[in-house]
Structure 1
């Protein structure tokens, strides 16, 4: 079997299902934001643990940009999910909205679901989201050119590519604020991301807001304290929760999960323990030529 073929195995994928629309694939929408949220959470925790375990000098994390990036992707996927569901329910074409800027898609969510937006835009969350988008664009499009970037509503780095744990936690807070605001807009549905957690030989799920409170925030605070560090970052999320959309009825939207492999895609792994990567890296290290002072040379660009 080709490795490429395994990309079509969608076991564990989450879908929004609309029972009134039917009982086949055409009545379901793929939901991706939980997947990105799980990635973002674990990258964030990895980054915070690197701070905690710093030796001699402070380890500012080697996955900061990855963590921040996945939080933004999770937010955008979440907003798109809200919009896709609204379009599906109101027979609108999502293609007419997907090219809009993030604010345009948010506006469409409020309009299609007929939800009052005043409390959201007066809360202070949206300016933070805008600065997050700016920060993300600076990094993803490599726009930094000598002058620093000014952020007034958030604690993002003015030199974005030098992000560290502060940027990671700031991103995680903005994501939490967005998730919380729109958490219950669909009747009977709780859209706060569920994070995959292993337990013994099995696994379960915990809501992200609880994990932020019980894991991420204490880890960040105690890691700072351990190394006698402080931060100006406001770690308490803004609390806004929008009301349910009045255009929907209970049961209009259900969340389901694909619990079986596609029969023609199953492929078992070889359980033999190997260490290929470490062996190859050891060979690569032999290619490094040290200078007389036993220090690395300047990279040969």
Structure 2
């Protein structure tokens, strides 16, 4: 499954919509990124998002904070961005450091600017099928499944991972499409046996090559949302591809779609805030 190719098309569509919005309102959509500390991977990721934003006609506003930033200071910074009418979307780069209450920081993001889909409001909207912004990686997964005409109704989807911004919302979005969803995680007993029953596997547990080819039901759709050092996913790609009907590579699968959904939701947030 070519996530990179689909992401390029989504970004092109987003750029067209951003340009139309700017022409009609005189306002350019703006995404604010907040980074605590200077973790090399996070710095690189934020720069990548800024570069992709520019290609999509979206302004970037970066707020870099020292590693010593407290929870109160971070919440104050995010609250100010939430109240700034020139900012349409807010992204808090994860991780923020063990001394910070990350959930408190996420909840400081106004729901209408939560273009990364990380707040409790956004999760509730996903769960209840209400208007809101989806978590970007699960949203990218759903776009991939739609692009490849994967039938979800009545199918058994096994989600391996239970994080608040990936595993849990991915399951909610699959459930909304009438899939039967089983959540698994690092402490699940007989994980291999459960994965073998799946028509759709979403691997998002953060363990390199945890899921191997012999775990895959022949013809199953395998979505690898894991990313580990050395460009390795949570699925052993070489063995799994021999049994899967469709499979995402790492890199080039889910990753590009995450950023594409972030940009699309930023423009959507701007449109809603501008009343268009």
Q: Is the pair's TM-score, using the shorter chain for normalization, greater than 0.5? A: no
- What TM-score do the two structures reach when normalised by structure 2? 0.28
Higher-RCO chain (CA-CA 8 Å, sequence separation at least 6): 1
- What TM-score do the two structures reach when normalised by structure 1? 0.27
Computing the radius of gyration from Cα coordinates, the structure with the larger value is: 1
